[in-house]
Amino acid sequence: MNVLKRTISLCPRCLIDIPATICEEDGAAVMHKSCLEHGPFTAMVERSAEFYKIVQRHNAAMFYSGLIIDVTYRCNIRCKWCFQHLSAKDVPIERIYSLAAQMPKGHNIILSGGEPTLRFDLPEIVGGLVGMGYVVNVITNGYRLDFALPCRWTLSHHPESEELFNQRVKETRETGKKLASIIYTDNGLADYYRHVQEALELADICEVFRMHAAAPVGGNLADDTASIYVSDMYNLLVEKGHTLQMFPPKTIFVPVTVDCVPFMLISWNTARNVDVVENMAEPWYHGKGNTVDNLVTRIIRDN
């Protein structure tokens, strides 16, 4: 058994930090760990140990820059793969500003939810953050996308909002605007590749495409081998004959150009296979309490 890395993970049951060892087994990268109270756990970290070794050699500094702040837990749709516990609550404006103020001026503040555009005071929130010296990005399912606001927009695609997504894409092209990014949530490799082909047709209206492998984020899958890993996503593009260039990756996040178009290939961790040390990087996320943590670990602990 070839040891690839010693790190820190979480107990999938009590979520405390525990030591973990990642080993090469049958061509995969596999995590072994044990909690004093709940015993041992084993989970696949990457289907391809060779791909995992490439990732570790790069030692990428971050996923992408920014602080993610939930501004509401309301939403107009109910997506199968949503990790939020939705409610009728909005986050007070004062708290949003206070969280943002933990970041240096000029930094990227990413407003999320829920669906941020359900807030009629969103223009006030965006304007206040811009006035504080921040760059603002809003993630939306397209409910009320308004290019008049002084922010950048990320449009999220879900099967539950396909019609709304197509409408906003059409309006973006017709008005000559450009989206900061489009997020696709993919139920399988066939779904993922169909969206890659669609994204290549939308390259004129979007700066970068994020391909999320659908998963119960923070969940505790009984069979980790059933997950889609970034190596699966990357290797499929190679098999399809695309021209690829990889940039410094992490185990669950690979920046890559596909035929010169920027993509982010993302496969979420669960409580079973999360590497806390590798994930201790931007983007930061405030979570539901008073803590600001890395995105992946915070989502797992909140769920």
pLDDT of residue 220: 47
Q: Which of 251, 273, 298 is nearest to 33 (CA)?
A: 273
| Spatial distance between the Cα atoms of 264 and 272, rounded to a whole number of angstroms | 23
pLDDT of residue 82: 77
Please return the burial class of 21, using the count of CB atoms within 10 Å of its CB with bins 0-12, 13-18 and 19+.
middle
Q: Does domain 45-302 have CATH number 3.20.20.70?
A: yes
Those residues of the chain that have pLDDT short of 70 are 215-225, 287, 289-290
pLDDT of residue 298: 85
Task: Convert the pLDDT of each residue in 10-32 to its tens digit.
Answer: 999 999 999 999 999 999 999 99
Task: Convert the pLDDT of each residue in 127-150 to its tens digit.
Answer: 999 999 999 999 999 999 999 999
pLDDT of residue 166: 96
DSSP 84-101: S---S-B--HHHHHHHHT
| Spatial distance between the Cα atoms of 228 and 184, rounded to a whole number of angstroms | 14
Domain spans of the chain, in order of start: 2-44, 45-302
Helix (H, G, I), strand (E, B) or coil at 78: coil
| Spatial distance between the Cα atoms of 258 and 253, rounded to a whole number of angstroms | 15
| Spatial distance between the Cα atoms of 214 and 247, rounded to a whole number of angstroms | 23
Rg, Å, the chain Cα set: 19
pLDDT of residue 289: 65
pLDDT of residue 219: 45
